[in-house]
Amino acid sequence: MSARTLHALGVADFRERTRRTAYLVTLSAAVGLAYLALPPATSLFVILDAGGYRGLYNSAYSGTATALAGALWLMLGGFYVVRGSITRDRDTGVGQILAATPLSRIGYLLGKFWSNLLVLTSMAGVLAIAALALQLVRQEVATVDPVALVMPFLLFTLPVLALTAAAALLVETIPILRGGIGNIGWFFVWLFFGIGGQGLFLGDGVLGVSMREAMAAQGLPDGAEFSLGFTEVGRPLGVFVWEGLEPSSPLVTGQLVMVAVAVVLAVSPSIWFGRFDPSRASAAPPRVNRSEPPPVPVAARSWRPVYRRMTGFRRRFAVGRLLAGEIRVLVQGISPWWWLVAAGVNAAVVAVPSGLVNGRDAVTATLIVAWIWPVLIWSRLGTQRRENGVETLMGGYPGVHRQLMAEWAAGVVFTAAVAIGPLARMMITSDGAGVVAWFAGAVFIPSLALMLGVLSRSHRPFQVVYTLLWYCAANQVAATDYMGVVLVDGSPVGPSPWLVAAAAGGMFLVAVGARALRHLIR
């Protein structure tokens, strides 16, 4: 297969993605990321902090700061944007059509890799344009050097995006990673390589050394600790002049090796990927439930409808049955081993002696574990009907709000059940503040899941957003503490539980409004 054919395959897939509204949203997010990377001089929120200093906003520093921000955050967000291309081909039948063509497995994977890389590169291109615009808006240096502005994107952003594009392709071809486990697992991969790998360029890396030399030449402290992420500083950053980095041969070679590794990673699934060939699918016969009675002949069935007038008692009982049904739908298919782990976590916090560990610390640790374990189950809220293909059937259901409320209530009951141990321990120790925060978290989590599920109609946004939120709360970021685990002197210091509950109510109303609007315009 020629390179021209592969390019055409990748470009066709890229164009299909760019026609979606979500693509415009991701480009808008790239512009916002550039704004955060080059904030106003008085801003206290920064992405790149060189020990309390930043570079003058010339082309070299503007390009480098936005390129590093793009490498870090597009590695996380871009992965979730581009993954799903193989699944989409499988669901739409395009894959089966391609299976009937001479297209090879390696050719198909290279085309998808190229498409993923084009999407991510277009986001990096928007970042570069935004960096140019912000340099002109900040008016610290009026002269524009296009080479100095673009070079950091080629050196530091594109190799990372190539690895991200290949990883998104790889997880789609491994069945166990194809679903929510792959989404959550990538977050921790990003933590390890994205944040942990900053030292390759900053710190003692080439960029850190170059900036320290510039700071030392200007009489500034040269022992600064660099940070790349999104942090709040106590005072606006000081300014030093940095004219950019001269790319060395080892640096360029190292980045080219990263791109080569990405290509190898992208085509490696050709060993096991069947390219939608049904002859390589499992030939196991369908399971037969022998406990089911034999089918009744049509002629022997009675089709006479039976109408019963619903009394007040039956109407109240129907609400209970609706809630019970939603709970059954939510927890269907959960392995007994999953329940065993959840029960063990809850039993541990009740059984641990008070004298062995601090009781509140035990509750906090257990609650953190208990409310990340069901993340894949929560992500079903608001999405199951569409993903199971019964949305059209449910469209005729007259009580949209009632059904959605029952689904939300099922989520609340499930959330409370998986963390009943910490609640019992706090009630035993008369921890009133902790109990109130627990209840706020129990309504916040399913509300967030339901809103994101209804709006996006996909599991993925909740799995990503909630994992990030949980990680921040578990790492003692008070502003994100929705479950009362950030403590000072034994009391929660995060947002007020009433504020968390109000946010949960707002998210539920958004879900109701979105579902009602969709029901009206269908």
pLDDT tens, residue by residue, 467-480: 888 888 887 788 88
Question: Which pLDDT does position 216 carry in this prediction?
Answer: 87
Which conformational region is residue 219 in: left (phi greater than 0), alpha (psi within -120 to 50 degrees), or beta? left
Q: Are residues 104 and 30 in the same domain?
A: yes
Last residue of a domain, one of 215, 250, 276: 276
Going 429 to 433 to 434 to 438, the CA torsion angle's sign is positive
Give the tens place of pLDDT for each residue, 165-216.
999 989 888 888 877 788 888 888 888 877 666 666 665 678 888 888 888 8
Is residue 301 included in any domain, yes or no?
A: no
Lowest mean pLDDT among 51-55, 71-75, 99-103: 99-103
Q: Are residues 106 and 206 in the same domain?
A: yes
The residue that leads in pLDDT, 458 or 374, is 374
Going by C-alpha positions, the residue among 238, 78, 54 that lies closest to residue 160 is 78
CA gap 428, 438 in Å, rounded = 14
pLDDT value at 292 more than 60:
no
Q: Are residues 261 and 366 in the same domain?
A: no
pLDDT value at 280 more than 80:
no
Q: Are residues 261 and 340 in the same domain?
A: no
Last residue of a domain, one of 243, 276, 309: 276
Question: Which pLDDT does position 393 carry in this prediction?
Answer: 65
Instruction: Give CA 324 to chain center in angstroms.
Output: 30
Question: Which pLDDT does position 248 carry in this prediction?
Answer: 84
Q: Are residues 118 and 223 in the same domain?
A: yes
The residue that leads in pLDDT, 454 or 289, is 454
Q: Are residues 245 and 155 in the same domain?
A: yes
Q: Are residues 246 and 340 in the same domain?
A: no
Question: Which pLDDT does position 357 carry in this prediction?
Answer: 59
Q: Are residues 255 and 347 in the same domain?
A: no
pLDDT value at 163 more than 90:
yes
Which conformational region is residue 237 in: left (phi greater than 0), alpha (psi within -120 to 50 degrees), or beta? beta
Tokens of 407: 């689904």
Contact 126, 30 (CB under 8 A): yes
Is residue 300 included in any domain, yes or no?
A: no
Torsion angles phi and psi, residue 327, rounded to 5: -65, -40
Is residue 290 included in any domain, yes or no?
A: no
Tokens of 123: 């986001």
pLDDT value at 285 more than 60:
no
Is residue 458 included in any domain, yes or no?
A: yes
Going by C-alpha positions, the residue among 35, 32, 38, 31 that lies closest to residue 239 is 38
Q: Are residues 203 and 335 in the same domain?
A: no
Q: Which domain holds residue 116?
A: 3-276
Q: Are residues 339 and 445 in the same domain?
A: yes
Tokens of 504: 């949960």
Q: Across all residues in the chain, what is the average pLDDT?
A: 82
Q: Are residues 351 and 436 in the same domain?
A: yes
CA gap 481, 494 in Å, rounded = 5
CA gap 448, 462 in Å, rounded = 7
Question: Which pLDDT does position 90 carry in this prediction?
Answer: 81
Q: Are residues 370 and 491 in the same domain?
A: yes
Question: Which pLDDT does position 60 carry in this prediction?
Answer: 92
Lowest mean pLDDT among 77-81, 249-253, 420-424: 77-81
Question: Which pLDDT does position 441 carry in this prediction?
Answer: 93
Q: Mean of the pLDDT values across residues 241-267?
A: 89
Contact 34, 121 (CB under 8 A): no
Tokens of 329: 């739908």
Number of structural domains the chain divides into:
2
Instruction: Give CA 432 to chain center in angstroms.
Output: 33
Going 200 to 201 to 206 to 208, the CA torsion angle's sign is negative
